[in-house]
Amino acid sequence: MVKVHRLTGTLITILAFVVFTSAFISQEQTNPRLITAIPPVQTAPLLQPDKHIRHTPRPIDNYNYPIPLGETGPLLPLFSGDLQYPFICMTEESGFQQPLVDNQHGWGMPVFKARSDRDNRNNIIGYSKDCQIPTGLVYYLIDQNNKINRYKGQPLQQNEQLVRIEYGVIHRYIYLIAMPIQRSEINKREAKSQWNQKLVYQFTGGAGIGFRQGSMQPHKLIERRVNQLKAGYAVITSGANRTSFTYNMLLSEDTARRLKKHFISLYGEPVYTVGVGGSGGGLAQYLMAQNAPGLIDGAIPLYSYPDMVSQALYALDCDLLNSYYTFKAKDRDFWQDWSKRPAIEGLNANNGEPHKGAFFQPINQALNGLMPSYPKGNSECINGWFGLYAFIHNPKQGWLRDYVSENLQQHVHWSYWQDLVNIYGKDDKGYARHIWGNEGVQYGLNALKQGQISLEQFIDLNQKIGSWKDDYQMQPERVASVPFANIKVWLSLWGHHNINEPDANQVAKRQPTDHKAVENAYRYGQIFAGKADLPILDVRHYLEDQFDMHHVSASFSARMRMKTLAGHADNQIIWVAHPDYNPVDLAFKTMDTWLLNMLDGQEMLDAKPTGLADACFDAKGQTIASGNSVWDGPWNQAENGICSDNFKVFSTSRIQAGANWLGDTFDCHRVSVEQAAHAGMYGEIDVSPVITQLKQIFPTGVCDYNQPGIAKPTDLALN
């Protein structure tokens, strides 16, 4: 006990020094590179869907394409709403020039004299609020070893490929067009002798909350699609189609339509357009298929989710659960056996190497008056989602604030929801509405029924887990810098300072769901409701063993939604491979056959290549199993198929709480605790001794997932 007190005292002493010193050295210095002021809002049209935007006509685009070289592209969106400010220009990070000066009012990013000292305010020649650059061309060479470098005019060797990159800006986001060319076609913008007449639309992933243009480096686009460029495909992409920069799928579509129209004005209609992209770039294809039929003709989503919004349900549960395990659990030692956590989280977890935030745990426990402990395990909830709540959900945080003055930081709500405030709307406090809630959710219900946790543990978990505070009550993360070292120390681990505390009955408040926000998300196509009538090859590596956030179950969530809406998902093929084998090139070849068969007049399902079916692959690319039942498992209430046996499919915290695998119940139908017990919701467990406690925890009732959710609009008319 003496050693424990000494350790606690030492940790507190260290932290006091870190906090004090960090606060002293982190005072904002005068930095002329920061954004200090934002302009008045520039208004732009916003679609007003009656049922769903799929059925809402898009306005006519009267821009006179193509965008001339040396000039700027269209600035105001056609139908995705007002421009967002502040907006961080990143043209130089992309390898291009500084943005063009568009005002002398101090609005936006400062622009400096060429080759001048950026720390000298006297070198500012103006400001850029909209991050425009002139449209231009650059050239890259893919050598025999697929290495990519700027082309310097030398003769081409055998098996080398020259690529022309056109760059410019549409809606403030950098776009790129990659075209394979011959050496004789340099400085001939419309030359296309090596184009196979097929177009790839590259969507890209990442977690973004808006407010920045993002870096779009040409060589990275070429790296992603090197084999397709060498095969003759043209490739187009935009920062608006990269979810690292924004998850606004309406803006993504608005920009994609204009970029594709610009491409066609230069090179003519492609034979087909196939989408490709991972993570956020995968879900974007599901949503484009649903919202904007005809924009892409086939989809190759990689590491996909059905959408971002429904993933937030369980992803924002992660830090609530981690906070419970670390600070609140009556039996904290029980949860230090990491193999017990999947029963609650659904996602993979296990004992072994400590997670990346392990150093912070004993520090935070000591600061909260608890006996410190060092974690000896890891989970997807941590390895995959650590810090996500702070980034996308906490309006006082963000993580883009290094570009913005301290004064301006206080006037911006830094969150994913704010990025889409045009769509979600605002609450009565002026914050963007959001879709997350956990009222009625019985965390660990399946674990209770299966005997993996006791009734006492089930009560303790649900009594204490609470929910995120209302936006207006949230505070920035407490992160200190260790002096003279590039180390950040989280002093608000798992966001515990932004979680509702227990009331007089020792029950932490739950968060109700904002039905208006959910309705808007559906109507504006931010949620995949299952409509996707084009060929889909859903491809991923199996990464659950690495606690990666890109879990297999997301593909089956998309499938379940398609089957629920259309009665089948025969146009969606799911391939999962060992990490040592990459099936993407095979997917392109397969998709090519499928789309060309359709162009020959075959119906979509008849045009599927012979033998094409769900499959899984080993490390050498050999097919382990293929067929309609190889991925059977709990998601479709069937015995495990061969692929499911080889690559375990994990679930989510909401599924472990009794929800179905569609993953789209934003607010559940609720019944009283007595009704739930009478209906057998708790299995063989006798909950009569704790009925009073359960009623205190769930005053509005508990989720009955056998009933449809109560937040989804019923008139979307997607079928």
Task: For tokens 């207006």, name the residue.
Answer: 472
Asked if the model's pLDDT at residue 25 lies above 70, the reply is no
Residue 10 has a pLDDT of 44
Asked if the model's pLDDT at residue 26 lies above 90, the reply is no
Q: How confident is the model at residue 504 (pLDDT cuts 50, 70, 90)?
A: confident
133-174 tens-digit pLDDT: 999 999 999 999 999 999 999 999 999 999 999 999 999 999
Residue 23 has a pLDDT of 34
Asked if the model's pLDDT at residue 320 lies above 50, the reply is yes
Give the separation between CA 288 and CA 274, rounded to whole angstroms.
12
Residue 24 has a pLDDT of 32
Asked if the model's pLDDT at residue 469 lies above 60, the reply is yes
Give the separation between CA 84 and CA 38, rounded to whole angstroms.
10
The structure tokens listed for 237 are: 């992409």
* Residue 528 CA: distances (Å) to CA of 102, 308, 557: 38, 9, 10
Q: Where are the alpha helices (DSSP H) in 525-672?
A: 553-566, 584-599, 642-646, 653-656
Q: How confident is the model at residue 18 (pLDDT cuts 50, 70, 90)?
A: very low
653-673 tens-digit pLDDT: 999 999 999 999 999 999 999
Q: Cβ distance 298 to 607 under 8 Å?
A: no
Residue 28 has a pLDDT of 40
Give the separation between CA 382 and CA 18, rounded to whole angstroms.
24
Give the separation between CA 696 and CA 85, rounded to whole angstroms.
44
Q: How confident is the model at residue 30 (pLDDT cuts 50, 70, 90)?
A: low
Query: What integer is the mean pLDDT of 419-438?
Result: 97
594-649 tens-digit pLDDT: 999 999 999 999 999 999 999 999 999 999 999 999 999 999 999 999 999 999 99
Asked if the model's pLDDT at residue 129 lies above 80, the reply is yes
Residue 17 has a pLDDT of 38
Asked if the model's pLDDT at residue 14 lies above 70, the reply is no
Q: How far is CA 39 from the centre of its chain?
A: 29
- Give me the amino acid identity at 110: P
Query: What integer is the mean pLDDT of 364-390?
Result: 93
> Long-range contacts of range 420-423, CB-CB < 8 Å, 24 or more positions apart?
420/210, 420/247, 420/248, 420/526, 422/46, 422/80, 422/81, 422/82, 422/248, 422/250, 423/81, 423/248, 423/250, 423/520, 423/521, 423/524, 423/526
Query: What integer is the mean pLDDT of 713-717?
Result: 93
Helix (H) / strand (E) element for 576: namely strand 572-577
73-106 tens-digit pLDDT: 999 999 999 999 999 999 999 999 999 999 999 9
Sheet strands (E) in 491-541: 536-541
Mean pLDDT across the chain, nearest whole number?
Answer: 94
Residue 398 has a pLDDT of 77
Residue 52 has a pLDDT of 97
Q: Cβ distance 180 to 162 under 8 Å?
A: yes
C-alpha neighbours within 13 Å on the C-beta side of residue 696: 15
Query: What integer is the mean pLDDT of 301-316?
Result: 97
Q: Which residues of 215-238 are buried (b: 16+ CB within 10 A; e: fewer)?
A: bbebbebbebbbebbbbebbbbbb
Q: Cβ distance 436 to 468 under 8 Å?
A: yes
Give the separation between CA 598 and CA 613, rounded to whole angstroms.
18
Helix (H) / strand (E) element for 489: namely strand 488-490
686-707 tens-digit pLDDT: 999 999 999 999 999 999 999 9
Helix (H, G, I), strand (E, B) or coil at 569: coil
The structure tokens listed for 363 are: 């520090």
Q: How confident is the model at residue 7 (pLDDT cuts 50, 70, 90)?
A: very low
pTM listed for this prediction: 0.95
Cα dihedral sign, 371-373-379-381: positive
